[in-house]
């Protein structure tokens, strides 16, 4: 082909055109990839959310939750707390078996406790504080062997530093570090921090603040050699964060602060994700909070604190624990501070993949449990579990088969539920009754007895 100045110029223009077009396409593709990456990152973050998985048959607030994450157990224990149905603090030791999705009361503390402290030492759960006003043993720390649940609780020791309420604490090695709170007896003040040696049964270290009104209702978790202390209340609800180093026995006020002031929430550290969470509580503008703050410890020791996905239900005086599969589980609490509001009966989990229900916190089968208490008067709880979303009917019948009450008649998601039957509400008389659960193709009936 004969090359002329014209053809050479045409080829040059065509090459320049394709080169420009290629650059345009590459730039567009880069922008699309960036958008897709941002979308994917946002979608991944959006998958972190709270999911309600059941209803507590014996709901409480201000209890303590204990879980042996080192042993990767299936069982979570809830001790004490305040029961709306009894209108008092309770001495219950509840066991939630995650694998079986079942609840039962497996023991009792020596006395009712509310707003107290508990932790694991060897094979025992040790707990102190939060005794009722009528208690004659306010300074006792009790012990219960969770490996042999048939064993009775016993008094482990006594010390004036255990006589407090609205405190927090952690067991590290053989020492129980007791932090903050109010003395159970106003005339018998306690140290802001006390380290109680569980072997010698002696206080080996105390630390006092230069103020007559130290913070209470604080929240703590431990990472390595440090106990991190969050929020609380003293002349107002706090955003402050402190760090107590166990080796140096030094307390530092950190420059970082919580995003929101909060007290009476729950702090939990998840060793799998290496993230801590400050969950629920209350402040001056919110009687119960559903907000959650995430705490990450940076390589330089500083804290990165961000607000993350909120709880489904606002709660104060709640219980939270890190479970073996990386989930954080929240139980109970109240819809308002003090004795106002009511107990939140639902428990929920913070999960990485909420779209998947293939985990051991959701029921594997439909089950109708025996009511508790039985016999009963004036009320009883009926619990059941659903392995999949279903239309649920829960009805009460007398001995001749007459329907006397409808407790549920609605669609419910997979989960564990509990319904209270109140005698006065349905004007029931003493005698034998039957309750029937129908959910999809599942149907079951059980008998219960109403006393005079």
| Span 236-268, pLDDT tens digits | 999 999 999 999 999 999 999 999 999 999 999
Check whether residue 335 and residue 397 sit in a common domain. Answer: no
> Into how many domains does the chain fold?
3
Q: Does any domain span residue 360?
A: no
Instruction: Give me the domain span that covers residue 232.
Output: 51-351
Task: Give 54-106 pLDDT, tens digit per residue.
Answer: 889 999 999 999 999 888 888 999 999 999 999 999 999 999 988 777 899 99
Check whether residue 259 and residue 166 sit in a common domain. Answer: yes
Check whether residue 235 and residue 275 sit in a common domain. Answer: yes
Q: Does any domain span residue 358?
A: no
Residue 9 pLDDT class (50, 70, 90 cuts): low
Asked if 421 contacts 380 with a C-beta cutoff of 8 angstroms, the reply is yes
Average pLDDT over residues 420-431: 94
Task: Give 306-332 pLDDT, tens digit per residue.
Answer: 999 999 999 999 999 998 777 899 999
Check whether residue 236 and residue 289 sit in a common domain. Answer: yes
Check whether residue 108 and residue 231 sit in a common domain. Answer: yes
Cα–Cα distance measured from residue 310 to residue 265, given in angstroms and rounded to the nearest whole number: 13
Q: Is the confidence at residue 423, as pLDDT, over 60?
A: yes
Strand spans (E) along 98-212: 102-108, 117-121, 124-128, 140-145, 154-158, 164-165, 168-172, 175-179, 182-183, 193-197, 202-207
Across the chain, mean pLDDT equals 87
**Domain end (from 351, 381, 401):** 351
Check whether residue 213 and residue 135 sit in a common domain. Answer: yes
Place of tokens 């509400």: 425
Q: Does any domain span residue 362?
A: no
Asked if 179 contacts 209 with a C-beta cutoff of 8 angstroms, the reply is no
Q: Is the confidence at residue 358, as pLDDT, over 50?
A: no
Average pLDDT over residues 183-190: 87
Average pLDDT over residues 294-313: 94
**Domain end (from 320, 351, 382):** 351
**Domain end (from 323, 351, 379):** 351
Q: Does any domain span residue 63?
A: yes
Q: Does any domain span residue 89?
A: yes
Check whether residue 202 and residue 77 sit in a common domain. Answer: yes
Q: Is the confidence at residue 17, as pLDDT, over 70?
A: no
Asked if 138 contacts 88 with a C-beta cutoff of 8 angstroms, the reply is no
The length of the chain in residues reads 452
Cα–Cα distance measured from residue 160 to residue 196, given in angstroms and rounded to the nearest whole number: 11
Check whether residue 379 and residue 342 sit in a common domain. Answer: no
Q: Does any domain span residue 45?
A: no
Q: Please give the pLDDT value at position 19.
A: 60
Check whether residue 72 and residue 188 sit in a common domain. Answer: yes
Check whether residue 35 and residue 55 sit in a common domain. Answer: no
Q: Please give the pLDDT value at position 16.
A: 55
Task: Give 374-410 pLDDT, tens digit per residue.
Answer: 999 999 999 998 887 778 899 999 999 999 999 998 8
């Amino acid at each position: 082909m004969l090359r002329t100045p014209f053809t050479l110029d045409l080829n040059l223009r065509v090459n320049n055109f394709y080169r420009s077009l290629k650059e345009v396409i590459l730039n567009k593709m880069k922008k699309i990839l960036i958008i897709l990456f941002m979308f994917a990152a946002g979608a991944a973050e959006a998958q972190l959310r709270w999911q309600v998985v059941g209803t507590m048959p014996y709901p409480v607030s201000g209890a303590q939750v204990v879980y042996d994450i080192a042993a990767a157990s299936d069982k979570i224990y809830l001790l004490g707390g305040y029961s709306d149905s009894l209108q008092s603090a309770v001495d219950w030791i509840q066991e939630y078996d995650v694998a079986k999705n079942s609840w039962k009361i497996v023991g009792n503390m020596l006395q009712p406790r509310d707003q107290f402290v508990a932790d694991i030492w060897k094979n025992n759960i040790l707990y102190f504080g939060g005794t009722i006003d009528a208690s004659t043993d306010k300074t006792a720390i009790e012990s219960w062997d969770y490996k042999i649940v048939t064993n009775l609780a016993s008094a482990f020791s006594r010390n004036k530093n255990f006589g407090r309420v609205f405190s927090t604490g952690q067991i590290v090695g053989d020492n129980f570090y007791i932090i903050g709170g109010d003395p159970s007896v106003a005339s018998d003040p306690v140290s802001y921090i006390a380290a109680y040696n569980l072997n010698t049964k002696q206080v080996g270290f105390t630390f006092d603040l230069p103020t007559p009104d130290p913070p209470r209702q604080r929240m703590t978790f431990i990472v390595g050699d440090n106990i991190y202390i969050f929020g609380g209340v003293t002349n107002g609800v706090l955003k402050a964060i402190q760090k107590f180093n166990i080796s140096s026995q030094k307390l530092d006020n950190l420059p970082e602060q919580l995003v929101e002031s909060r007290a009476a929430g729950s702090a939990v550290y998840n060793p799998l994700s290496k993230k801590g969470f400050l969950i629920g509580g209350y402040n001056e503008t919110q009687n119960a909070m559903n907000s959650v703050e995430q705490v990450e410890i940076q390589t330089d020791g500083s804290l990165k604190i961000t607000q993350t996905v909120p709880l489904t239900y606002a709660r104060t005086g709640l219980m939270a624990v890190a479970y073996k599969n990386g989930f954080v589980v929240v139980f109970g609490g109240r819809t308002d501070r003090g004795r106002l509001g009511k107990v939140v009966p639902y428990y929920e989990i913070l999960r990485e993949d909420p779209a998947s229900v293939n985990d051991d916190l959701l029921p594997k089968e439909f089950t109708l449990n025996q009511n508790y208490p039985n016999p009963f008067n004036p009320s009883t709880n009926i619990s059941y579990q659903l392995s999949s979303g279903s239309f649920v009917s829960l009805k009460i019948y007398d001995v001749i088969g007459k329907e006397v009450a409808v407790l549920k008649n609605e669609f419910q998601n997979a989960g564990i539920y509990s319904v209270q039957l109140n005698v006065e509400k349905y004007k029931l008389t003493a005698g034998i009754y039957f309750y029937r659960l129908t959910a999809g193709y599942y149907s079951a009936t059980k008998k219960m007895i109403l006393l005079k």
